[in-house]
Amino acid sequence: MKKIIAGSSSPMLAKNLAKELGIEIADVSIKRFPDGECYVKLNEEIEYAIIVQNTYPDENIVELFLLQDAARRVANRIDVIIPYYGYGRQDKIFEEGEAISAEKMAKLIQQDADKVILINPHKEHIINFFDVEAKACDAVPAVAEYFKGKVDAVIAPDKGALYMAKKAAEIIGCEYNYFEKTRISSNEVKMEIKDMEVEGKNLLILDDIISTGGTMRKAIEMLKQQRAASIYAACIHGLFIGNADERILQAGCKELVATDTIETAYSKVSVAREITKLL
C-alpha cells in the first residue's frame, strides 16, 4: 500500500500531492513533549512511504529523521520529498573551517531514503551530495501558469535569478529582464533595468526565496518610480522573516504569491503536479 506521510511543515502540499497521485495520507501521530522533544508514530502498515517534510526550521529536521526511522521499520520503499531544503545555502567551503551543511544534511537524510526530491534547492548541484537517487523539481512552470495573461514581463531581482525569469517568460509568452546592481558606496546600491521600458507595463518580479524581503521591496519601489502599471511579486519559497510580506505589500506590490513548499497565506500555487512527474 502506497501512502503519503505528511510531516508538520507542509500539510497543504501533502494534501495536494495526495490528490494528484490519487492516494491517501497515512494516519500518523506527531506530538511534542513538554521539553520540546518530538514523538512520531505510524498508526498503520505502509509498504511504500512518501514522506513530505521540510528541513526548516531546525525542529522539522528531527521530525523528518524520526518519520524516516518509523517508516523504515515497516516500509519496503521510502521516497522523501523536501519542499524547502534548509541548510542549502552552505553548499561549499567559503572560508576555512566551515561545515558544508548542505552535504551533511544529505548524508543524514539518505540513511533512510531510497529516493529524494528537492524543490528548487539553493543550488541544483546539491542533489549530487546524495548517494541515493536524487532529483531537483522546478516549480517555475507552476508559478508561470498562475501569471498567464496577467503580466507583460518577468523581472529577476538579480542576474542569478535570470534563468527563472527567462523560463517563466517563455511559458507566459512575454518579455524578461533583470535588475543590474551597481555599488555606489559601502551602504548604497543602485538597481536598474537596462534596455527595457517598464512604464505602463504589468510586471512580475520572480525569485527563488523571499527571506527578509529587502531586495524585493527595493525592486518594487524602483519599478514604481519608473511608472510601471502594476507589480506582482512571486517566489518559490516564502520565508517572510520579520513581517517581510507586509513590507513588500506596503511598497506597492499588487499581489504577493508563493508556492506551498512553505505554507503561508500567500501559498497560491501548488508544486504537487510538478513533483508527480518525478515520482
Residues 6+ apart with CB under 8 A from 257: 143, 146, 147, 232, 233, 234, 235, 266, 268, 269
Phi and psi dihedrals of 143, rounded to 5?
A: -65, -40
SS3 78: strand
Which among 2, 135, 166, 181 is annotated as catalytic?
181
Specify which residues 4 forms β-bridges with: 25, 50
Question: 122 and 88 in contact (C-beta within 8 Å)?
Answer: yes
SS3 149: coil
Residues 6+ apart with CB under 8 A from 259: 119, 139, 142, 143, 235, 236, 237, 238, 267, 269, 270, 271
Say how far apart CA 235 and CA 244 lie, in whole Å.
13
Phi and psi dihedrals of 35, rounded to 5?
A: -85, 5
194 catalytic? Reply is: no
Query: What Å distances lie between residue 141 and 29, 81, 168, CA to CA?
Result: 34, 18, 6
Q: Enumerate the active-site residues.
A: 181
